[in-house]
Amino acid sequence: MDVGAIHRLSYEDFVSVFGNVVERCPFIPAAVWSQRPFPSVAALQAAIFDFIEALPESGKEGILRCLSDLAGKELRGGTLSRESREEQGAAGLDRMDAAEVSRMARLNAQYKERFGFPFVMCARTSDKAAIEEQLRERLRNAHAQEISRAVEEVKKICRLRLQDLVLTDQINKL
């Protein structure tokens, strides 16, 4: 999808296309739609990131609470979004044995108890061993430090999802 195509999208179509670049947060593309025209896809990404960064800490935590546990019940139950299912699958989280599932469930519960939101990491650029290691390490972070870190991971996920939307559309035109 090129910038011209983005500009031609109605508000409803824009939110539909970009509504899950930040998981379960269609209000984010809804908020940045009015900033069109975007000179580039990078400018759209920057607008999304600026919106997120401008939120107070409680708003950032709200975004983080919209996310699912990595290797959690939603993955095993098949209720994740298509994007999350593919990302977690790429990291091998859908191919864990019972002991791995149990460890991740325990660590996810500890993390959520400590911080009040699910552990966030860009699964697509990692694997299950590294994710578990990061989860253990990040449990030691201070609350504010972890919000910042989790938001940076949300941005990584968003950037990759935006790239997927642009690349997928370009491939379909070939």
Q: What percent of the chain has pLDDT over 90?
A: 90
Q: Based on the number of CB atoms within 10 Å of its own CB, is 52 exposed (0-12), middle (13-18) or buried (19 or more)?
A: buried
The reported pTM is 0.93
172, pLDDT greater than 90: no
- pLDDT for the residue numbered 4: 87
pLDDT at position 150, please?
98
Q: Where are the chain's structural domains?
A: 3-62+164-173, 68-159
Domain 3-62+164-173 CATH class label: mainly alpha
- pLDDT given for residue 31 in this prediction: 98
pLDDT at 136 over 90: yes
In this prediction, residues 60-72 reach a mean pLDDT of 97
Q: Let me know if the fold of 3-62+164-173 is the same as that of 68-159.
A: yes
pLDDT of the residue at 174: 35
Which CATH topology does 68-159 take? Answer: UraD-like (1.10.3330)
